[in-house]
Amino acid sequence: MSIKVEARDSVAVLTFDDGNVNAMSYQFLTDALAGFQQAAADFDAVVIAGNAKCLSAGFDLTEVTKGPEQRDAIISAGAELFFSIFTCPKPVVVACTGHAVAGGVIYLLVADTRIGRTGKVRIGFNEVSIGVPMPEFGIALSQYRLSPPRVEEVLLGDMYSSEQAVEIGLLDRVVDGEAADVVDAAVARAVELASRNADAYGQTKLAARSELIKRFGFESP
């Protein structure tokens, strides 16, 4: 299976691992949504992690290019997953265990905390570089999360190292080690966030994000 849920104390670790770059097919996104929603319901916090190679390289282009109907279905499924994460009142931490490209960057924009890995890692949107306009929700999330002077630079296709991603705001910090070390650091951060008052945390988080939630017609839990 490409998606696994593991209990780490009060934290659920949702791991994406298809043995390659975790390309987001329609089935992958459907399974990821079900896994995330169950993890968020059963645990105090959720960590989303990739494999040692990649967090995700974005939407599965073999499906996106099949035609408008399939393209719209996969983008809609991705938006549903991303906004389920974005509107989750519980802490969500992303362990960026490797590359994060195209739609894979969205995980970094919807999480509470993002922890990356040092080394030869590339992070960034490459949609414009390959001739694909950025989806509206990707633009809006970038505008919400990143400093204004860097938004267009990020959206227009520049790629970054993990350290550069911290400077820009795509990551909060990096860990010098293996993928497992990044996951351990993400779990520790998730435990710390979950130790705060849950009601106050959730209400404040959703209030801070309310304008963007309303913009896309998603109701907060």
Q: How much is the pTM? A: 0.94
Tens place of pLDDT per residue across the chain (221 aa): 689 999 998 999 999 999 999 999 999 999 999 999 999 999 999 999 999 999 999 999 888 888 888 888 998 899 999 999 999 999 999 999 999 999 999 999 999 999 999 999 999 999 888 888 888 888 999 999 998 989 999 999 999 999 999 999 999 999 999 999 999 999 999 999 999 999 999 999 999 999 999 887 644 33
Contacts of 174 (CB under 8 A, 6+ apart): 115, 116, 117, 118, 162, 163, 166
Query: What domains, with CATH codes, occur in the chain?
Result: 3-215 (3.90.226.10)
SS3 state of residue 138: helix
* Pairing status of strand 123-124 against strand 99-101: parallel
